[in-house]
Structure 1
Amino acid sequence: MFGWELPPKISGGLGVACAGLLSGLKNSGQVSVNFCMPQLLATRLTAAQLDGLRTVLDDYISSEAMVETIPAGAGSYTANVTEALSMALAVPQVLAEHGPFDLIHCHDWLTFLAGVAAKKSTGLPLVLHVHSTERDRAGWSQNEAIVNIERYALAHADAIIAVSQQGARRLIKTYGAQAEKIRTIYNATRQLESARCPRAKHAVPVVSFIGRITAQKGPLNFVEAAQRVIAAGVSCRFVMAGAGDLLPACQALVVAHGLSEWFEFPGFLDAGAVSALLARTDVFVMPSESEPFGIAALEAIHAGVPVVISEDSGVAEVVESMLKVVHDDVDAIANAITLLISNTDMARTLAEEARNQASRLSWDTAGLLTVTLYKDLLCLRAEKFGKGMRLQEKGDAERVLQCDEIVK
């Protein structure tokens, strides 16, 4: 399995999702995983290596685009196309040191070229796990080199995991992915069981935004909605936690609207700090322009916080009891915030219902569904080539996932 990050060193939900899925696969007792990250793959590209790899990419990526750095506004990933290629070049090292394998599983575009290279080298089935696409992260300012890597890899995949139905539809519409290859396996998240921090009498309610401060997440709309809430005379504080290229613009907009005394910008928060913030949050807002799933919203739900969310978010497919808005309708966002602050009974009811609905999602379930996909692929391979499967039934201790196998 190729990934790019794991907690605690993460830039967003990708690492959280990978760690969660690994725990689900381990608990299934049916699969052993070697999780490879780029720290192991320290290969640096030389001009000769770069020339040699161009043939792998066919006509999808020009030589100029292959070494183009991703613009800061393109999303959370700070890597560039060259680093993704470097990971692909290290595939022979991985195969030699960590084989044999039964199949290949890759998470998001940064690892896709490595996955295709491994498939070409071994002939084994390739599973691509799409947590978000470049179009999701960057909109129309997308990096075409990344889009082309995604399209190229999806065409070579034997199976594709989408994290929501809307994510699956985008893969079909935007990338031409084959619908019969796609399975939707919803994310989950850690369950935050700590009690909400009791507010002091007359304490001001807290409205929180937690996530990458990039165009995808709609942070400027959060600030504009906050301005309307304060202008309407509603007393509350706003917290925008996270980092990203739009952070300076959001801070400037807060100053321009005269909202500085009502705003906090604590920066990127680790898991413990996120839990602490959610414990004192009265309303969580996620006005994303495109959100294939939305792990941050799910964490808020598990913490017992009522959620305002854009209607195009994947998590809304399985959790109904949230206030859903059009991502750029700042009046609707402001009205939803005001409603939840002023109507505490409604807020409490929505939070409880949402938490019950979210309890249907777990990493163990995601792990079992992923194992089922693995078995289906290996059965097809066995039928085609007459080879048996290496996945064992539960109880065989020899090939159970060991977390210390994770490559750091």
Structure 2
Amino acid sequence: MLRRRDFIKAALAGISTLSLHPLGWSHSDSSSSWLWSAVDDAQGHQILGYQPATGEHFRIGVSERCHSGCRRPGHPQVALFARRPGRSFHVLDANERREITRIEARSGYHFYGHGTYSPDGRYLYATANRIHDGAGLISVFDAEQGYSLHGDIDLAGIGPHELRLMPDGETLAIGLGGIRTHPDYDRVKLNLDDMAPALLLVDRRSGTILERHAPSHHQLSCRHLDIAPDGSVIAGYQFQGPAWERRPLLAFRSPQGTYNEISLPDELTDELRHYIASIAIAPDAHRALATAPRGHRALLLDLDDGRLVASHSLRDAAGALPDRQGGFWVSSGLGAIYRVPGDGSAPQQLEALNLSWDNHLS
């Protein structure tokens, strides 16, 4: 395990040059760097704020298990979404360390656990499901009007999951999982035979679908993704077919709009057990990292060509986020938090907390 005082020296050396808190607002201590995650512990469902450089952390209790979060640009706010199929999202004031509002889904709708803000922080875009017909939507909320509903974007598909904003600030990239669920049946998958997953690019203002890229098999559920400054997208799949079949689990959308799946060694693909949980891109190192909790793996890829740089054994690897020093923070469902260097060297465990991290870091 990396000694705390050694880590602090290294972390502050790299982070002290930042002028903004990584959540997007000015902070009296510009060397502070907080991570956010949904967690579960002996007290129940929590949202955790964690500072890797010092180990400081705090928890905010919530009423249901949450999944992923996003930071509001220019404001000390973080939104975290209930885990699919979820009925609410929570908005926190990170400076005051408290929940400031909870937004409930409309009757007949639920959320899918992910969202992102517009560049100016006014609008929050959340993936959602209209329950009666299974229509996949992006619900748009006006943060300046108390997160009132502004409208919906119809995605002409089922099961949108993670979404992020492209570098142009106008286009949303969405992992369309293709899986229909219903809150009355918890997480039961209702349409495995006729799934139609895709990676979508959508104009956030008009709702026009600009690109639709289908995986090589209809049961490769396109769930998670991250975006590089040049518009490259790495997408992660979760295969819903037979356990004995071998399918690619990662894909690359180039800045020019071409779409190809990434080949990994057969033995490694088998180890991943059909499941990619989180994708993160470190633009300063041209590296991407994908976690595979069922296979206990963290995969480091070269962003330029999709080449596998390293495959690290990491128990129940869960959330991933760039650390702004060419590497990544990676959480574990078993409670540990790691730094994974971008050069392919071994992960460094910072510490282990008595909790279970969810599959995403913000």
Tell me which interval the TM-score lies in, with the shorter structure as reference length: under 0.3
TM-score by structure 1 length? Answer: 0.23
Bigger fraction of residues in strand: 2
TM-score by structure 2 length? Answer: 0.25
Higher relative contact order (Cα pairs below 8 Å, separated by 6+ residues): 1
Q: Which structure has the larger Rg over C-alpha atoms?
A: 1
